Structures are given as structure tokens and as C-alpha cells.
A and B are shown apart, each in its own frame.
Chain A
Amino acid sequence: MLAETLILLLVVLPFLGAIAATTMPVSARNGEVVLGGGVMLAGLVALAALFDQVSDGRVVSRTIEWVPSIGLDLTLRVDGFAWLMLLLVFGIGFLVVIYARYYLSPADPVPRFYGFLLAFAGAMVAMLISGNILVMVVFWELTSVFSFLLIGYWHQSAGARDGARTALIVTGTGGMALLAAMILLGQVVGSYRLDDVLAAGDIVRAHEWYPWILGLFLLGAFTKSAQVPFHFWLPNAMAAPTPVSAYLHSATMVKAGVYLLVRFSPVLGGTPAWFWIVAGTGMATLILGALIALYRNDLKGLLAYSTISHLGLITALAGIGSGGAIVAAIFHILNHAVFKASLFMAAGIIDHETGTRDMRRLSGLRHSMPRTSALAIVAAAAMGGVPLLNGFLSKEMFFAEAADWHNGTWLDTALPYLATLASIFSIAYSLRFIVQVFFGPPATDLPKEPHEPAAWMRRPVELLVLLVLLVGFWPAAMIGAVLQSGVLAVLGVDAPYYSLALWHGFNTPLKMSLTALALGTVLYLIAAPRLQRANEAPAFLERLSAQALFDRLMLLLTRKWSLRLYRRFGTRHLQVQMRLVVLLVAAGAAATLIDATRMWPRGLFQNFDITFALMWLAGCGCAIGAAVQAKYHRFAALALLGGAGLVTAATFAWFSAPDLAVTQLMVEVVTTVLLLLGLRWLPKRSQEIAGDRSYQARARRAQDLVIASVCGVGVASLAFAVMTVAPGLTIGDWFRRNAYAEGGGTNAVNVILVDFRAFDTLGEITVLGIVALTCYALLRRFRPAPESVALPSQQTFVELPPLSAAEAECEAEAKASKEPTRHDVMMAIPSVIMQWMFPVAIAMSAYLFLRGHDLPGGGFAAGVAFAIALLLQYLATNVRWIESRITILPVRWIGAGLLFAVGTGAGSLLFGYPFLTAHAQYVTIPLIGQVPAATALLFDLGVFAVVVGATVLIQIAIAHQSLRSARLRARDEAEALSQEER
């Protein structure tokens, strides 16, 4: 019970700490240390309390439900191996927290730093102890994210930004691969529980998906632990503050990858593929990392490549996969963390105190910083694998495995030599580090005067170096139990016997070590002078740089390829898009209809009526004429469109749809006026469009003609196919039977509109209102094209003689009084008749409205009629004249109409009936007789109001543009005049 609480605490504490840390004030450096250190210490204490329960291969676990329905549950599971890793996270975390207090400058925002650091620790802990492989991926990705944030801590620097981005992209990609691997693994095993997966190695390895799982899994592991060729993010990540490098990029996060390799080696390992890929990659990384490290002039760069190299070593061990190799791997994870963290911290101290990390500038620091120098030299020696230090021990184990373990491949045979070669390089770079930084004459041109750092900045290093020594001398006593429990956790009953003794005799590994030591020293002595001047990598690697490849790939991916693909498979041209829509739909419909028997033509000339055919001869002529003229003769096209619309309306009338005919005709009128209003702002096309007769243009037109004809034929044959077969049972029958009985009106169409399907009508008038508002809003800021601002040519041509002065005065007066001006005289007599039509049209509107429920007509038709009546008055005179006489607030009409319609519909709610339940009754009024009094009529009144408001608003909004542009002209003229005066 206690243990279960403790493991929960392990995860929760860092996250809580992170939240607390970010809320602290910017300057609370000490507070942050207390908080962070406290969290880490608490973690260590909890670990200590847990050790007994995980030591002999036992497991403590606890499950918290998250999304069990997709197999996501937060199973927390601590075993010896996880415990060992947690020790690193909390232990080194504790030291880093203290170290960072002195490392960061007062200008750095510490809450963000400690917040991210603790959150990272939390993610790392959760990853390590998650007993669900999916949740493991969750936190795996979170470590990438927090690592990203920490690398980008100093985001003012371009290097930090690049480093952070590269790290996130590479490790994030790996994480996605890992996710895929885990999903596949879970599928194969039938469970996402780590315990189940670990127990199902045989099933997994035998499954046909094994290669995929392995590949994706390794992609995840390799990217995280910076294996070649994914190693390049790690050196770039050195732009992070050094405590971050010490913590994440040597001790914890990069170890997640090798942790995973070791952890899953019982499941996925033991196959030739595993050996070749893992051991091969590991060895390549080991050697290349060491080689490049030798070339780096930057202290942290050297340490980064050294880290890569050591991670390669651990990977190689995991690849070998024998019991001994696993022991060595686990042991080296620990050892490397200890000496590398101390080295990073030392490098940070050097950087902090001298102002540079460039080894070519540094020299003789042992004089000014003797204690730090001593510490760093010991740690570096451990890095090189010098005997009596911790690094030596695990390296010897590796050598032993390389030499003693065999599987008969050439790689196996080459292993001892390759291992020795890598060791030679690592001795050389360690020497370079020691000699060039601490020995030689004191440097003279350093940015800062070097001296020992604050004591507490050095304490963490001291502690770590002490561990290096203690483990080096008394390995069994220091670390034996921990290591043993880790090994047991991974290998279980297969755990081998091993000895942690210092002296195993003068055996092959020792010989290899000594050879490496000697040859490494020689290599350093030969190479040292050249390295001072050389580039930061061997020439062949420079050309084959993974970083360059990555950068190029990113550039191609995010600029060239993507842009090219996007343009190739996308378009910004409307025509292409419209064509695609039409083509796709036509092709799809054709595909479904290809074997439709109903589409076969039959009875073509049944009911043929010559008059109807003649009428449509005119209609089709108009339609085609409009299509032909629309480009150069817009007005003609408009007139012809009217003709086609008229024939359409006549067709409605012909086939028993008087309501449709009425509506279509009136809408036709309004549309025509609208389009005419718009034509004012689309100047007459006097010139031919460039390239209009070119071959391409003609080809496009012809191609579209084919497409259009196909569509026409398709729709026509569909229409014919349906029309020539009698309908089955339709809902229309019910409407016809019940229009009067239930709906209380004889005009079934109108009853449908205002009662049976009034909801449609409500939506429809809303559309009308919306569109009107939009037109109005858009036109409020309408800016005409320059050539449209001018007065239309019809008005600039004056057929009347120029005005005399007196006449001009009268004209001005007339304008001021909003009387018709002299130009309006052209319309004088017609406009009288148009005014006569106003009362008539009002009567028409009332007529259409009142008849609606029983006969053709209705609220919509009445509304449009009323709007046309108003429109006619605008036509007859001009905007100012009308608006000084009639005040219309169309927006309010729309709003009120909608509310009225809704209100009518909602009335039924009060009586417990659903929305829009109508109540119809014929009321007998004295003198008048029976009058239909349906609530539907009230609803229709709302429709009427909206239609009037919307139609008028649209028309007026466009019409007002003439007024505005007149104002604009006046302003321009005034400006021109005032400029002339000047």
C-alpha cells in the first residue's frame, strides 16, 4: 500500500513541482532551488523506501484508469531496472537543480527553467515506470517536448532555436514511429500491458509483423539516444543551458532510448535482424562519435559526441544481447551518467568563469581553477576508460563481451577490433580535453578572468567525481545490489553470473584496454597540433554530414517539394475548381447510371405538344444566346436571361404550378433590376480581352463545351427517366389529402409552405435576411473601380444646350430641394405613370397576400410585389427624392419579420404543442362572411415583412452606390479645384 502510494508520488511530485515553479516570481532563484531540490530529494527518499520491494526481480505496480476503452491506463510499474534509472533522474536531477542556481544569470527567467526541468523530470519518471506501452509513448513524447522547451530556453539565440527545432523534429519523429510500433506490438500481444508484452517475446518474434515492429521500434529508440545517422540533433542541443545538457543530454533523456533497447531486448532481441541492426548501429555510433569528438573544438561539442559514442557502446551491448552484455549495458548507463554529468557541469563552470568553451582559446586552467581542474581531469579519465575509475569497469565488460561472445558473423569477428579502435579515439579525445584545457601556459585572451566558481556550484561535481572514484574502487560494495536488481528485472531467471571485481587477471579485455591507452596517447600526440587548425569533423564526414542532409531534407520538405506538390495537386483558379466539381460529379453519376435500365429512352414522343416545343425553342434560344453574349455584351445577356426565365415561368404555369409562375416572374423582375444595378459597376467592355482568340482559349472553351454538354445530357436524361415513370406512394399524396382537412387551406402549396413545412420557410426567409445584411455590409465599404466612378457616358452627353447662369441656379435650387432635376425631366412623364402604379402595386401586394392560403399567392409573393412597388418609385425618380418622402428601415423589417414568424410559431408552445403548430379556423365576420383566420396567415405576415425588408435592403444598398460615387466625384472635383487655385 505504501509502495503504491510512493510510486504515484514519484510521478505526481515533479509535475506538481513544475506547476508550483512556474507560478513563483521571476527572481525567486532560491525558492526555486528549495522547491526543485525538495522534489528531487523526496523522490530519492521514496526510491530508497521502495528499493527493498523491487530488489530481487520483484515489481511494484498500481493502475489508474484513464481511457480503458482504448487500452490507455496509467499503470505505474517499478522494477529494479526502472528503479536504477529513477535513481539517475532524481539523483542527478538533485545535483543539477543546485548547480543551475549558480549557473543561470539573474537576467534569466528562472521559473520557466525550473518549471520545464521539473516537468521533464516528471515525464521521464512516468515514461520509466509506465506499465502500459502506450502510456510509455505518451511520456516518451513529452520528454521530447520538454527537452525542446529546455533547449530553446534562450530562444533569443538562433542556435538555440535551431537546436530545439531539430531535436524535437528528430525525436518527435522517432516517437511517432515508436507509437506505431507499440500499437502493432499491442495488437500482436493482445494487450498493452508491459508485463504481458515482456512475457510474449516468442509470439512477437514469430509474427509476420515482427520486421515492421522492430524497424519502427528501433527508429524510436535510435533517434532518442542519438544513434547514427540520427545523432546530429544532440550536438545542436548543446545550445541549451549546461545544466540541461548535463541532465537531459547525458544522464537521463538520451538514456531513454537505450533503456528501451535493454528493456525490450527480451521481447524483440535475439534475432539476427536485431543483432545486425542494433549492434551494427551501436558500433558505428561508437566509432564515429568518438572520432568526431576528437575534432571538436567546443568543450560541450566534444562532450556531446562523446555522449553519442558512449550511447553507441550501450546500444552495441544491447545488440549483442547476451546476459553479460545486458549487465554491461546497464552498468554503463549508470557509469556514463555519473562521469558525463560531472564533465558537463565542469564544462559549464569553465564556460561560466572564462566566458568561452573553445578549447583553442583555453589553456592552463589548472593554475587558476585547480579544484575544478582536478575534478574534471578525473571525470575525463573515467570517460576515456582509465583503470580504477567507474568508466573503466563497464568498458572492460564491453571488451569482454566483444571478445568472448560469438555468433559467427563477420561483425562478431570484427567486434574486438572495432571496440579497441573506438577506445583509441576516446582515449585521444579525453586526453585532448585534459591537456588542452587544464595544462599548458595560462590563457591570456579569455573574455573573463578565470577563477574558481562559487563553492556550491562545484559541490555537485565533487559529489559525482567522488562517485566515479568510489565505484571505480569498490564497485561491488557501491553499486552491486542496485545493478543486480536492475539485471534481474530485465533478464529474470536468465540473469548471468558476473563479477564486479577490479582484477580479473591479465585477460583479453585488459590487453585491449592497454593497447587502446597506448595507441590513443600516440594518436593524440600525433594529431594534437593538426586538430588545433582542423575543421570540426573529418573531411569525409563533413561531406556526408547527417545534419546537412537533415537541413536539406527539411528545406525540400517544407519549401520546395511541398510547394511543388501543393501547386501540382492544387489550384487557386476558380475555373479549375469549378471544372473539377462538375467533372467529378458528372463522372460519378455516369458511373452509377451506366447500367441503369431506367435510363434507356422510351416513348420519346409521347404527349408531344408543338406549342410547348416552340415555346422552349424561344427559351433555349435565349439561354444559349445569353451564354454566348455574356462575355462581351452583358446587357444583351441580361435581356436574354430574362427571356429564358420568362419561358421557365410559363412552363410552371403550363403544368399546374401557378404559385411557382407568380413567384418566378416576380423574382425575375427583381433579379433583372439587381443585375442592372450591378452592371453600372461593371463598365462596358469596349475592347477584346487579350488572348481571347488564342488557341488555348478556344481549346478551353471547346473543352468546357463538351463538359457542359455532358452535364446537360445527363440531367436531361435523368429528368426524362423519372418523368416517364409514374410515381409510387409519395408524401405528396398525404399533403393533397390533408391540405384542407388538416392545414385549413385549399392551396396545398401554400399550406405546405406556411404549415406542413413552415420550418423550411422560416429558414428560407432567414437566408434572405442574411443575404441582405451581407450585401449591405459589403457595400458599406464598396470601392468602385476607378473607371466606374465617373458619371455614366449617357449622362455626360448633354443633348440639351448648356445652362444659362439663371438656369444653373434653378438647377442647384432644385437639387437642394430634392426636386427632380433637369436631367430627371427625361423621365418626367413616365415617372408620373410609375407613381400611379404605386397604389396599384400596393393593392396587388395585398391581393396576393390575402389569397395565399386558398389560391395562388402568399406572403412571399406579396412581399416581393411590395418591394417591386417601392423599387419602381426609386426607378421613377432618384434615391434622395424618394428617401426624403418614404422612410424605410429595411433592417428592422427583417428583424421584426423574423421575430414575428418565430413568435407565431412559438405561440403553440404555450399550449403544449410543438413549435410551428398551426391553428386554422374560418371565422364568420358580419358583412364579410367567412374569413380564413389561420395562425399560418400570421406566419405569412412575418414572411412578408422579411421579404420586403431584404429585397429593399439589397436594392437600396446597391442603388446608394451611385449617390456615394457622386459624392466622391464632387470631392475629387473640389480637390482638383483647390489644387488649381494653388
Chain B
Amino acid sequence: MELVLSVSIGVLVASGVWLTLRPRTFQVIIGLCLLSYGVNLFIFAMGRLVEGAAPIMPKGGFVDPDVYADPVPQALVLTAIVISFATTALFLVVIMASRGLTGTDHVDGSERNP
């Protein structure tokens, strides 16, 4: 599991990074989305992987923390998801505006001079 998830995080991050280094705005935004998947999974992985142990507690009594997944990374990922959603939306609007104002979808607002 750990291996598969690590490799997957790596693939997401690598694709994301590769795309964010590209010159077209849409590539960058897709890249940022992929990157945020990778990062979110990374945060999540920091709580270690547990199957069938959602952090939903019994009502009262002794609670053994080790039986449940760590809720902290999950809470962090939730916040991160929301924030990356918001910023993706904003970035999208900005690339729309940039496309409209410059007539190109190059990140620099003008085509690279050969």
C-alpha cells in the first residue's frame, strides 16, 4: 500500500510539476490541480495508512487512539482542498482575463521570441 501510494504521489507531483513548468496557461492550471492532488495525498499519508478505521468515535467510554485513523491530517487536507479549489478558480479567471487582454494563452502574455 505504502509503496503504491508513494509512487502515485510521486507521479502526481511529477506530472503536476512538469505541467506547471509549461508555457500555456491551461497546462499550468491543470498542473496545479494535479500537484494539489499529490500534495493532499502527501498530507494525508503523514497520518499513516489505516483501513476501516474512520475517525468516528464511539459515544463515551475509553477511546484507544490507535484504533482510529489520525484525524489531524484529514482536517488539514480538508482545509487544503478548499483552499486549492478556491485558488484554482481564481487562477482560472485570471488566465481567462489574460487570454482576453493579451490574445494569447502564453503565461508571459506574449509568445516567446524564437
Contact = CB atoms under 8 A, between A and B. Distances in A.
A692 to B, nearest CB: 10
B98 to A, nearest CB: 10
B21 A707 contact: yes
Contact of A716 (B6, B56, B83, B95): B6
Nearest to B3: A604
Given A637-B26, A730-B72, A660 B7 contact: no
Contact of B31 (A630, A691, A718): A630
A747 B54 CA distance: 9
A624 to B, nearest CB: 6
B48 A723 contact: yes
Contacts of A956: none
Nearest to A745: B57
Contact of A771 (B18, B81, B87, B95): B87
A708 B54 CA distance: 34
Contact of A727 (B7, B70, B108): B70
Contacts of B90: 771, 774-775
A788 B79 contact: no
Interface string B2-46: 111111111111111111111111111111011001101110111
A660 B78 contact: yes
A720 B13 contact: no
Contacts of A790: none
A581 to B, nearest CB: 9
Contact of B4 (A575, A613, A624, A749): A613
Interface stretch (A540-548, A674-682, A838-846, A874-882): A674-682
Contacts of A735: 71-72
A723 B45 contact: yes
A655 B78 contact: no
Interface stretch (A113-121, A364-372, A397-405, A643-651): A643-651
B44 to A, nearest CB: 7
Contact of A722 (B12, B33, B46): B46
B5 A726 contact: no
B52 A656 contact: yes
Range class of the B interface residue count: 35 or more
Contact of A608 (B4, B38, B54): B4
Interface stretch (A195-203, A285-293, A305-313, A759-767): A759-767
B55 A749 contact: yes
A726 B54 contact: no
Nearest to B4: A613
A154 interface: no
Contact of A624 (B15, B48, B53, B88): B15
Nearest to A573: B108
Contact of A723 (B15, B49, B69, B101): B49
Main secondary structure of the interface of A (DSSP, over half): helix
A624 B85 CA distance: 21
B45 to A, nearest CB: 5
A616 B108 contact: no
B42 to A, nearest CB: 5
A264 interface: no
B65 A736 contact: yes
B12 A575 contact: no
Contact of B89 (A582, A654, A726, A775): A775
B21 A578 contact: yes
Interface string A731-763: 111011101110000111100110001001100
The residue in B42, B100, B105 that gathers the most chain A C-beta atoms within 10 A of its C-beta is: B100
A488 B45 CA distance: 81
A630 B51 contact: no
Given A674-B92, A782-B100, A954-B89, A724 B30 contact: no
A674 B86 CA distance: 11
B30 A638 contact: yes
Contacts of A606: 1-3
Contacts of A705: 18
A723 B5 contact: yes
Nearest to B62: A737
Given A627-B19, A681-B99, A730-B72, A740 B14 contact: no
Given A736-B68, A856-B54, A648 B11 contact: no
Interface string A600-631: 00001111110011001001100110110011
A713 to B, nearest CB: 6
A895 interface: no
A634 B34 CA distance: 14
A670 B85 contact: yes
A641 B33 contact: yes
Contact of B57 (A575, A730, A739, A788): A739
A958 interface: yes
Given A691-B114, A723-B49, A741-B60, A623 B22 contact: no
Interface string A763-793: 0110110111011001100111110100000
Given A704-B18, A711-B17, A771-B86, A659 B95 contact: no
Given A607-B2, A767-B83, A655 B11 contact: no
A634 to B, nearest CB: 5
Nearest to A779: B93
Contacts of A770: 86
A764 B16 CA distance: 23
A659 B78 CA distance: 8
A783 B101 contact: yes
Nearest to A640: B30
Contacts of B19: 626-627, 630
The residue in B21, B24, B46, B87 that gathers the most chain A C-beta atoms within 10 A of its C-beta is: B21
Contacts of A644: 12, 34, 37
A608 B103 contact: no
Given A674-B89, A674-B92, A727-B48, A616 B8 contact: yes
Contact of B41 (A608, A651, A747): A651
B94 A732 contact: no
B44 A771 contact: no
A860 interface: yes
A718 B38 CA distance: 12
A815 interface: no
Given A613-B4, A694-B114, A709-B14, A860 B26 contact: no
26 contacts: A572-B108, A609-B4, A620-B7, A626-B30, A644-B12, A644-B37, A651-B5, A651-B41, A655-B50, A656-B52, A656-B68, A660-B81, A663-B81, A678-B95, A691-B114, A712-B13, A713-B14, A722-B46, A731-B72, A737-B65, A760-B79, A767-B82, A768-B85, A779-B93, A783-B100, A788-B100
Q: Which 5 A-B pairs have the closest CB atoms?
A: A712-B14, A716-B10, A708-B18, A732-B70, A748-B71
Given A651-B41, A768-B83, 6 more contacts: A627-B31, A660-B40, A731-B72, A741-B63, A749-B78, A957-B93
Interface of A: 572-575, 578-579, 582, 604-609, 612-613, 616, 619-620, 623-624, 626-627, 630-631, 634, 637-638, 641, 644-645, 648, 651-652, 654-660, 663-664, 667, 670-671, 674-675, 678, 681-682, 690-691, 694, 704-705, 707-709, 711-713, 715-720, 722-724, 726-727, 730-733, 735-737, 739-741, 746-749, 752-753, 757, 760-761, 764-765, 767-768, 770-772, 774-775, 778-779, 782-786, 788, 854-856, 860, 950, 954, 957-958, 961
